[in-house]
């Protein structure tokens, strides 16, 4: 389960960003200043199957990874972070399943084999905090950019944490 979960974690950003990139490339109407990424998944969008399928698959992959993290977790904080990531992963899949125009919109600490790995928790916390800071900065400054910009920044930061944790998980199974 651990090796497969690690692979799922590494594949998640690739699947998500491939679907998002393809959707943007095929959508000349999309504007970083006026649109949210979720506009690509609206049922009225010509690329909704690409966008929504990508998010659904990415959410399922992330759920498998998160479940693997949860099974590995030994300490309370590790379990809580893994459970939160699992809930977020399921939410990502649901976003792909229930696009914005259906009316429904809804840490990463790793301690393999009981070893204390503060750097994983620190990295995940730093990237998550930076993601929140991105949103706060966008909200405070009200730049002439659409919501797609902070969405993408947050996705990149969370993906970086996901990949780092996946590599850590894979490394734990090699030792």
pLDDT tens, 50-78? 999 999 999 899 888 888 888 888 877 77
Q: Percentage helix, strand, coil, to 5, in the chain?
A: 75, 0, 25
The overall average pLDDT reported for the chain is 77
What is the torsion angle, in degrees rounded to the nearest 10, for the CA atoms of residue 138, residue 139, residue 145 and residue 149?
A: 50
The domain of 88 spans: 2-174
**pLDDT of res. 108:** 31
**pLDDT of res. 80:** 80
Per the structure, the count of domains in the chain is 1
Confidence (pTM): 0.66
| Mean pLDDT calculated for residue range 84-103 | 77
Three-class DSSP category at 61: helix
Higher pLDDT, 28 or 90: 28
Dist. CA 50–CA 40, nearest whole Å: 9
């Amino acid at each position: 389960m651990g090796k497969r979960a690690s692979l799922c974690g590494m594949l998640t950003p690739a699947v998500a960003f491939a679907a998002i990139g393809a959707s943007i490339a095929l959508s000349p109407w999309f504007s970083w200043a006026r649109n949210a990424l979720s506009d690509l998944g609206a049922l009225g969008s010509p690329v909704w199957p690409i966008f929504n399928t990508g998010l659904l698959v990415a959410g399922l992959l992330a759920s498998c990874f998160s479940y693997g993290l949860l099974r590995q977790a030994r300490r309370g904080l590790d379990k809580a972070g893994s459970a939160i990531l699992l809930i977020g992963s399921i939410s990502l899949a649901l976003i792909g399943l229930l696009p914005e125009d259906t009316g429904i919109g809804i840490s990463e600490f790793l301690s393999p084999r009981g070893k204390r790995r503060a750097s994983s928790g620190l990295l995940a916390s730093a990237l998550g905090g930076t993601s929140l800071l991105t949103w706060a900065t966008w909200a405070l400054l009200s730049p002439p950019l659409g919501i797609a910009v902070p969405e993408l920044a947050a996705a990149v930061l969370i993906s970086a944490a996901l990949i780092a944790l996946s590599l850590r998980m894979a490394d734990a199974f090699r030792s």
